[in-house]
A and B are shown apart, each in its own frame.
Chain A
Amino acid sequence: AQKITQTQPGMFVQEKEAVTLDCTYDTSDPSYGLFWYKQPSSGEMIFLIYQGSYDQQNATEGRYSLNFQKARKSANLVISASQLGDSAMYFCAMREETYFISNFGNEKLTFGTGTRLTIIP
C-alpha cells in the first residue's frame, strides 16, 4: 500500500528566507505522481506543483520547486523567498499511475498528515 510521511508537524521561518518541507513516500508502483497542496486558514485546497516519477527534471512553478530524489523516495517542497501569505498547512500527496495510463480514471490520492508553516515577519 502506498504511504506518505511528513515528519514536520510545524515550522517557523523568517520572511524572505527559503524553506524546505519534507515528504517521503512508499509505493510498489513503478509509475506514480507526487503533488503538493496548500491549505490556508480559509480551508480550501490549492494545488501547487506536480512531479511524475519518470520526469527527468525537478518540477518548478514560480517560487515553488520540488526536490525529487527517487532513490531516497523523497519529494521535498522548496519555497524560495518566503512571504507572509505562505503561512498555511502544506500537504504532500501521491497517486499511483501505472493503471492510470491504461485504466482511464484511476486518480486516487494518498495524503500525508501535513506541515503547518508559519512565516514570521
Chain B
Amino acid sequence: NAGVTQTPKFQVLKTGQSMTLQCAQDMNHEYMSWYRQDPGMGLRLIHYSVGAGITDQGEVPNGYNVSRSTTEDFPLRLLSAAPSQTSVYFCASSTGLAGGPLEQYFGPGTRLTVT
C-alpha cells in the first residue's frame, strides 16, 4: 500500500494563478480531508468528504474548491491564488467507520508558496 499520496511536493504560484493539489489513497477509505498548516496555528480543516460525491466545508474553506468523483481521489483546487494561501497542505484519510482504525492517515504534504 502506498497509503496517502500527494502531488506536487513543492509548488510556487503567482498571485491569481490557479492550480490543483492532488491527493490519492489506496486504502479504500471513505473519509478524506484537506488541512493547511501555518506557523503557530496548527492544522486547520479546509474541506472534507465522507464519500464519493459528498463534500463539505471545514474551518477555512474560502478560496478553495473540492470534488470527490471516486473513493480514491480528493483534489483541492485553488481558483485564484493569493499570498495568504502560502502554506503547507496535508491530505488525510480514514475509514470513517465506528469501530474501525481510529486515526487519520496523513499524506506527506505539499508546500505551496504564492508570490
A-B complex is real: yes
Q: Chain A: residues with CB nearer than 8 A to chain B?
A: 4, 33, 35, 37, 43-45, 47, 50, 91, 93, 100-101, 104-114
Complex partner residue of B106 from A45, A112, A113, CB under 8 angstroms = A45
Q: Chain B: residues with CB nearer than 8 A to chain A?
A: 30-31, 33, 35, 40-45, 48, 50-51, 58, 88, 90, 92, 94, 96-98, 102-106, 108-109
Complex partner residue of A105 from B51, B90, B106, CB under 8 angstroms = B51
In the bound complex, CA of A112 to CA of B18 (Å): 30
Residues of A within 8 A of B48 (CB): 107-108
| Residue among A37, A106, A109, A112 facing the most chain B CB atoms (10 A cut-off) | A109
A107 touches B98 (CB 8 A): no
Q: Which residue of A lies closest to B40 (CB)?
A: A113
Shortest C-beta distance, B98 to chain A (Å), equals 5
B97 touches A109 (CB 8 A): no
In the bound complex, CA of A43 to CA of B9 (Å): 11
A43 touches B108 (CB 8 A): yes
A47 touches B103 (CB 8 A): yes
In the bound complex, CA of A106 to CA of B31 (Å): 8
In the bound complex, CA of A37 to CA of B103 (Å): 10
Can you give 12 A-B contacts (C-beta < 8 A)? Answer: A4-B42, A35-B102, A43-B109, A45-B106, A50-B102, A104-B97, A108-B33, A110-B45, A112-B42, A113-B40, A113-B41, A113-B42
